[in-house]
């Protein structure tokens, strides 16, 4: 099941125009940004924006909406001014409407500002929560740390998101890391999503342990003694996406074995018997 990263920022690119209505797309934006001063409790400039009727009624200085013509609508003009302009809305430093909200309001007014009919507007981005990369590491972090310290390697959280997994890091003392060590990592193996094992003394024997690391996504075996035989054992790693075999003895047989895993798209074989790296 493909793992999709969390969309951290609203993708501004409209995917495809999905039908929208005042209630589903316009009202929520106005509620979020405008109701504080133009709502039930306060009506600055005697303007309310928390209901369709109120919007049409407009403010003490006249209507804020000209159906079909966003350019002439004061509502649209105010939210498209440069942020430091005195007339810019929302005023005095409150967070501005997102570019997408402004686009939606513009399309709504252009479509004649219908109360209930649908109109054409860019789809709201779907925020799909990614499927966690690994189990929550926090409860077992101290255990992982103690284990890593006694073995002379490091297990570093990939990020503060506690389901992002741990990175096995050996750069400080690569010669210290060998097959036996990898085997001892079994108790926390499911937490490991990345393993930096370049220049270590890992051989095919060690890869049998690595093959049990179910959540491993990236594996760096550059300049180690692994061969095609050992690498083939990694087939069960369903989540493996990238493997670095530069400077190893792995040849064509090992690479084709790995290619069985569709997710494993990035295989680096510079300085190996493999004819030419991808």
Q: Figure out which of the listed residues 17, 23, 42, 87 binds other proteins, where binding follows CB under 8 A.
A: 42
Rounded to whole angstroms, the Cα distance separating 248 from 226 reads 6
Closer to other proteins by CB, 109 or 197: give it: 197
Closer to other proteins by CB, 54 or 171: give it: 171
Rounded to whole angstroms, the Cα distance separating 112 from 136 reads 50
Q: Figure out which of the listed residues 67, 141, 205, 233 binds other proteins, where binding follows CB under 8 A.
A: 141
CB of 138 to other proteins, least distance (A): 10
Q: Figure out which of the listed residues 111, 121, 192, 198 binds other proteins, where binding follows CB under 8 A.
A: 198
Q: For residue 2, state whether it binds other proteins (rule: CB under 8 A).
A: no
Q: For residue 244, state whether it binds other proteins (rule: CB under 8 A).
A: yes
Q: For residue 99, state whether it binds other proteins (rule: CB under 8 A).
A: no
How would you class 128 by CB atoms within 10 Å of its CB: exposed for 0-12, middle for 13-18, buried for 19 or more?
Answer: exposed
Beta carbons of 226 and 250 less than 8 angstroms apart: yes
Q: For residue 98, state whether it binds other proteins (rule: CB under 8 A).
A: no
What are the φ and ψ backbone dihedral angles of 26, each rounded to 5 degrees?
-90, -50
Separation in Å, CA 176 to CA 163, 198, 237: 28, 12, 25
Beta carbons of 233 and 257 less than 8 angstroms apart: no
**Interface mask toward other proteins for 249-268; x: CB under 8 A:** -----------------x-x
Residues 5-34 that bind other proteins (CB under 8 A): 5-6, 8-9, 11-12
247 contact partners, CB below 8 Å, separation of at least 6: 222, 223, 270, 271, 272
Q: Give the H/E segment covering residue 186.
A: none
User: Which residues in this chain contact other proteins in the complex, by CB under 8 A?
Assistant: 5-6, 8-9, 11-12, 35-36, 42, 92-93, 95, 133, 141-142, 145-146, 149-150, 152, 154, 156-161, 164, 169, 171-173, 196, 198, 220, 222, 242, 244, 246, 266, 268, 270-271, 277
């Amino acid at each position: 099941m493909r793992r999709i990263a969390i969309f951290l920022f609203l993708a501004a690119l409209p995917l495809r125009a999905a039908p929208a209505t005042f209630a589903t797309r316009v009202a929520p934006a106005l509620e979020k940004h405008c109701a504080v001063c133009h709502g039930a409790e306060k009506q600055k400039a005697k303007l309310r924006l928390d209901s369709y009727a109120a919007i049409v009624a407009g403010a003490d200085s006249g209507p804020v909406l000209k159906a079909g013509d966003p350019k002439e609508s004061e509502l649209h003009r105010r939210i498209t001014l440069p942020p430091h302009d005195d007339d810019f809305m929302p005023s005095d430093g409150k967070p501005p409407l997102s570019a997408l909200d402004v686009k939606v309001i513009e399309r709504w007014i252009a479509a004649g500002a219908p109360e209930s009919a649908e109109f054409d507007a860019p789809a709201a981005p779907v925020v799909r929560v990614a499927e966690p990369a690994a189990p929550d590491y926090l409860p077992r972090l101290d255990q992982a740390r103690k284990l890593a310290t006694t073995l002379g390697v490091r297990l570093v959280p990939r990020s503060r998101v506690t389901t992002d997994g741990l990175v096995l890091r050996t750069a400080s003392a690569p010669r210290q890391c060998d097959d036996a060590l990898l085997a001892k990592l079994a108790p926390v193996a499911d937490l490991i999503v990345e393993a930096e094992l370049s220049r270590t003394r890992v051989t095919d024997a060690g890869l049998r342990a690595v093959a049990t690391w179910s959540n491993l996504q990236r594996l760096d075996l550059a300049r180690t003694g692994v061969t095609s035989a050992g690498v083939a054992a990694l087939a069960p790693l369903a989540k493996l996406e990238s493997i670095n075999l530069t400077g190893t003895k792995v040849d064509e047989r090992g690479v084709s074995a790995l290619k069985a895993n569709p997710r494993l798209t990035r295989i680096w074989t510079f300085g190996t018997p493999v004819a030419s790296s991808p």
